Chains A and B, each alone.
Chain A
Amino acid sequence: MAWFRKKKKFTPIGAQKTDLPEGVWAKCPSCAEYVTNDDIRRNLHRCPKCDHYSVFPIEERIQHTLDDGSFEEFDSNLASKNPLDFDGYDKKLQSAKQKTGRHEACVAGRGTIHGYPVIFAALDFSFMGGSMGSVVGEKITRCAERAVNDELPLVVISTGGGGARMHEGTLSLMQMAKTSAAIGRMKQHGVPFISVIAHPTMGGVAASFAALGDVIIAEPGALIGFAGPRVIEQTIGQQLPKGFQRAEFLLDHGMIDMIIERPQVRETLKPLIHHMWYARIAARNEQRDQTGLSIAGRTA
């Protein structure tokens, strides 16, 4: 399945190299410049010197994307079992839970973007690479079903480099069909789904709901594809061209709609949600008002 090169991280400078306090400075994996962690955070986890993108921590991602204080999480208690008794999976889950403080690799809920209510989900790369097992599949499916029920657009931000989670075997594979079918239902009901893809998103996540957005937005340089670059290199026995499977490559080949810099993602979502959904809702409400009918719950 899909794997990818180990993601380079900002490496804190060891105390022996400098007398600066630990955790304050980091070295950019791309331009090797030293920058402060505060600057990186303020710059939405992009290197202030060379604009290299690192993983956007999920809390900050939600905070940045949705209106302040608007996020209501649901299904946060859904947790994975070890259905195959896969050796080492319990331990892996345990340490991921400890690291992130959450039960699984997907955070889902409801919030607003510039006042427009949406169903929102994001994959957490720091929880087993944002891979999809039963819980992630279930949460995404519930989001799509809620979107249809509540007549709200769905926005999902994927950072699913792990693809379909191997530790849940064929059950993970089936989540691809399950989530895709749920997105299919949204489309039949005409409820919009916007898929935002961040680095890296591969395998079972890329080859299911993430590829099915009415609109697909990617962050610059994001690695997106089915097979991991290493697997392809082994298969064809040669080095891959530069930029292969990057967002720019996908845009060139017509696989995504646009590449948007991280600070502008929220601004880009607003008109899309408006055109695809709330313009119509507003028109509908206006018509009903004129005919003397009023419906509740459709503001915005």
Chain B
Amino acid sequence: MRYLEFEKPLREIESKIEQLEVYASSRDIDLSHEIQPLKDRLHSMVDEIFSQLTPWQRVQLARHPDRPYTMDYIRNFVEEFVELHGDRMFRDDLAIITGMGSIAGRSVAIVGHQKGRDTDENIRRNFGMPHPEGFRKARRMMEMADRHRLPIVCFIDSPGAFPGLGAEERGQHVAIAENLEIMSKLRVPIVCVVLGEGGSGGALAIGVGNRVLMLENAYYAVCTPEACAAIILKDRTKAATVAGTMRIVPNDLLNLGVIDEVIPEPIGGAHRNPGETAQNVKAGIVRHLDHLCALGEDELIEQRYKRFRDIGVFYEAETTGPALAGI
């Protein structure tokens, strides 16, 4: 396991426990009276570190190299998954996975960002940052789901849409905008889960759901904290400070009406118990799909439209601006 800076106090004690356990089993002796106090201490340390996470620490957990990705969730709870490839226009973008499978006995379409586990895979998957063809691949899957009346489950985990030459040439902004429009019109239930990074337009492009759920240590932002710090504070290194100001962690977003529910993670974060995390995610998806599948097509479209229609904070001032009427 790899450790983040603030997790490092745990490393020493975890490796000590491991050593003792290996020693005990190799010599076939009982060291549990030695190991147990260490485990107790580990638990209390984990509790202490993870009960008071700062927004920046959650961002780091969302990017943890051992954090489960879309494919890990699919392997855990999607049965008979069939992956489908390509946007039928340009290229198969591996930063996005699409396919069909069943969750708790219900057939669904699945769309999700996919990061790589190692450097090779990350190069192939472009670190989970889609090009326009990725968004068009997602769109193709979602339109197909609409035709075949399959509910859609979207897994969001991307630092953002890829900022590159080819991406702009092929209309990155157009691909994103079209997905936003098309998702708002689909006749089937859409449940989105922010698994890790909810990076900007690249996340939203598969994020227009009837429900948007979010794991406890995920973030969802208009841009990365680094970019925000660079632009607003003119200092990229102040990302940790600005992460708090941006209100990008689940509880803040719940209050702002951006997400509908926070999915709990095991203590220490998803990567410390991927199986349990996946079961929590599955339970959330199934519960919301059960509810949404009972709704009619028009109700689904209306509910989704209204869900996003109502987001925003403003007031009606008593004074208007200067009269522009009669120009």
Give chain A's interface residues, CB within 8 Å of chain B: 1, 3, 59, 62-63, 66, 68-69, 71-73, 76-81, 83-88, 100-103, 107, 109, 133-135, 137-138, 141, 164-178, 180-185, 187-188, 203-204, 206-212, 224-228, 231-232, 235-236, 240, 244-245, 249, 253-255
Contacts and interface: CB of A to CB of B under 8 A. Distances in A.
A125 to B, nearest CB: 16
A100 B324 CA distance: 12
B172 A77 contact: no
A186 to B, nearest CB: 10
B290 interface: no
Contacts of A138: 312, 314
A226 B324 contact: no
B317 A87 contact: no
Interface stretch (B57-65, B106-114, B241-249): B241-249
A244 B168 contact: yes
B153 to A, nearest CB: 18
B245 A76 contact: no
Interface of B: 161-165, 167-174, 176-178, 180-185, 198, 200-201, 204, 207-208, 220-223, 227-228, 231-232, 245-248, 253, 256, 258, 304-305, 308-309, 311-327
Determine which residue in B170, B178, B304, B327 has the highest number of CB atoms from chain A within 10 A of its CB, and name it. B327
Given A71-B327, A169-B247, A226-B176, A253 B169 contact: yes
A174 B172 CA distance: 18
A134 B312 CA distance: 5
B313 A181 contact: no
Given A69-B327, A174-B312, A180 B318 contact: no
Given A79-B316, A134-B313, A170 B327 contact: no
A231 B314 contact: no
A59 B324 contact: yes
A58 to B, nearest CB: 8
B222 A204 contact: yes
A183 B181 contact: yes
A240 B163 CA distance: 12
B187 to A, nearest CB: 12
B320 A232 contact: no
A102 B180 contact: no
Contacts of B168: 225-227, 232, 244-245
Interface pairs A-B: 9 shortest CB-CB: A227-B163, A134-B312, A181-B184, A180-B180, A102-B321, A211-B177, A83-B313, A207-B173, A226-B172
B119 to A, nearest CB: 17
A185 B324 contact: no
B178 A166 contact: no
A210 B174 CA distance: 9
14 contacts: A1-B222, A66-B327, A78-B315, A78-B316, A164-B222, A170-B198, A170-B221, A184-B185, A211-B171, A226-B172, A235-B164, A253-B169, A254-B171, A255-B171
A81 B317 contact: no
